[in-house]
Amino acid sequence: MVQKLDYLRETPSQTAGPYVHIGLAPGAAGFDIYDQEMGWDIAGPNAKGERIRVEGLVIDGTGSPVKDVMLEAWQADSQGRYVDPKNPDATEEGFCGWGRVITNFETGEWGFDTVKPGSVPGRNGSTQAPHINLWVVARGINIGLNTRLYFDDETAANADDPVLNVVEWENRRATLLAKRTERDGKIVYRFDINLQGENETVFFDI
Partner 1 sequence: MTDQGEFFQRDREWHPPAFTPDYKTSVARSPRNALISLENTQSEITGPTFGHNAFGTHDNDLLLNYAQAGESPIGERIILHGRVLDENCRPVPNTLVEIWQANAGGRYRHKKDTYLAPIDPNFGGCGRTLTDENGYYFFRTVKPGAYPWRNLVNNWRPAHIHVSVFGTAFAQRLITQCYFEGDPLVDKCPIVKTIPSQEGRDSLGAALDMNASVPLDSLAYKFDIVLRGRRSTLFENRMEGN
| Given 15, 44, 179, 180, the residue binding partner 1 (CB under 8 A) | 15
40 lines the binding site for partner 1 (CB under 8 A) = no
The answer to whether the beta carbons of residues 34 and 22 sit under 8 Å apart is: no
Q: Are strands 186-190 and 51-56 parallel, antiparallel or unpaired?
A: parallel
Angle at 87 between CA 81 and CA 89, to 5 degrees: 75
Nearer to partner 1, 22 or 188 (CB): 22
157 lines the binding site for partner 1 (CB under 8 A) = no
DSSP annotation of 94 reads T
6 lines the binding site for partner 1 (CB under 8 A) = yes
201 lines the binding site for partner 1 (CB under 8 A) = yes
66 lines the binding site for partner 1 (CB under 8 A) = yes
Query: Which residues, other chains included, contact 199 with Cβ-Cβ below 8 Å and sequence gap of 6+?
Result: 175
Chain positions 74 to 133 lying near partner 1, rule: CB under 8 A, are 74, 76, 82-86, 96-98, 105, 120-123, 128, 131, 133
Three-state DSSP class for 85?
A: coil
71 lines the binding site for partner 1 (CB under 8 A) = no
The answer to whether the beta carbons of residues 117 and 78 sit under 8 Å apart is: yes
Nearest to 60 by CA among 28, 12, 103, 13: 103
DSSP string computed for 31-64: ----SS-SSS-SS-SS--S-EEEEEE-EE-TTSP
Q: For partner 1, which stretch binds (CB under 8 A), given 49-57, 61-69, 150-158, 183-191?
A: 61-69
| Given 94, 166, 181, 183, the residue binding partner 1 (CB under 8 A) | 166
| Given 43, 101, 129, 137, the residue binding partner 1 (CB under 8 A) | 137
| Given 57, 129, 163, 177, the residue binding partner 1 (CB under 8 A) | 163
DSSP annotation of 164 reads G
| Given 1, 3, 36, 185, the residue binding partner 1 (CB under 8 A) | 36
Nearer to partner 1, 104 or 181 (CB): 104
